[in-house]
Structures are given as structure tokens and as C-alpha cells.
Amino acid sequence: MRWSISQLKKFKNQSLNIDETVILPDLTDRKDILSIDEVRVTGQISVHPFRMDVNLNISTAVNMLDSRTSENIQFPLQIDSYEIFDETVEEDDDVDENVHPLDHTLDIEPVVRELIIVNIPQVYSESDEPPKNGKNWEVIDASEFNSEEDDKVDPRLEKLKALLNSDEEKEE
């Protein structure tokens, strides 16, 4: 997914179709991502005098762990993006995130990698409900919550409460 600018300039004011399948190993260091299947990249490159407009469609499947149960699940990923590679833009320029500097080659693999990483969600299998309890904790309803326990004062702080009460009496 790399072309030289001189190669692309031959297609001036035309479009070049993209249809490639690539394997992107070591895409992310997230522990919940087990693997990513082959990535199919399709789209078009529109060649202009000082820039290349790239319309991308990326499709793959991400094999990952369910965020609640740690079971293996496969999440299909479909991404559409419009990217601009411009010869007049420098690396340090503050421009739109979809505008990239263009040097001697047009390399869309880093953009494909970034789009996949940004679009990988945290996944929960649909059949699961969130856990209701765990070790030393439990989810309770608001009706089960007893607010009277909040009014109880820790015996170690009883003297401070008495001090607070005496200050309130002085102010009155």
C-alpha cells in the first residue's frame, strides 16, 4: 500500500482503484486483543497536482476478549474514511487530522493501522448481564440502601461531633 509520487503523477486528474489484503501483526499492545484477521482495504486514490485524495474502506475482524467474561469473541470491523495527502503540508502544521503530509511516497498503511486501532471498541457479549456481586462487593438497589447508616458517627469521632455542636450553639 505504498506508491511513489512520480508513479501516481501519471494518473493526473484520474482515479486509481485500491483493492488489497494485508496482514498487520503487532497492531496494538492491548491485552484484550488476541488477533486481527486479514485486513481488506478497498477504495480510490484521486490524483491532483499537489495532493492525493484517498477514499478508504477497511474491513476486518478483531478477535478479542469479552470485557466482562473474558470469553473469546469475534468483532467485525468496517471503517470508511476520507484522507488527504498534501505535498504543501508539513509534519508540524496544525491541520485537520485527516490531512497528512506527502513526501516522496504515498504510504497508506500507517493510516490504516491508526484507523483500526482507534475504532476497536470495548466489547461485551449480548447474552451477558453485568455481574451483580464479586469478592467483597455487591450491587444493591437504591431501595435497599439504608441512609440512616450515614448518620451514624464513628465512635472515635464522637468528641469532634460534640465540638461541632458546641460551636453551632455559640453562633446562635
Q: Hey, what long-range contacts does 153-162 have (CB within 8 A, 24 or more apart)? A: none
- Note whether residue 107 is domain-resident: yes
Segments forming the whole domain that contains residue 47: 2-119
The Cα 45–Cα 55 span in angstroms is 7
Residue 20 has pLDDT above 80, yes or no: yes
- Note whether residue 37 is domain-resident: yes
Domain total in the chain: 1
Whole-prediction pTM: 0.66
Residue 10 has what pLDDT? 84
Beta strands in 93-136 (DSSP E): 99-101, 105-107, 133-134
Mean pLDDT for all residues in the chain: 82
Count of CA atoms in the C-beta half-sphere (13 A) of 104: 0
- Note whether residue 95 is domain-resident: yes
Residue 76: Cβ-neighbour burial (10 angstroms; 0-12, 13-18, 19+)? exposed
Least confident window among 6-10, 39-43, 77-81: 6-10
Residue 138 has pLDDT above 70, yes or no: yes
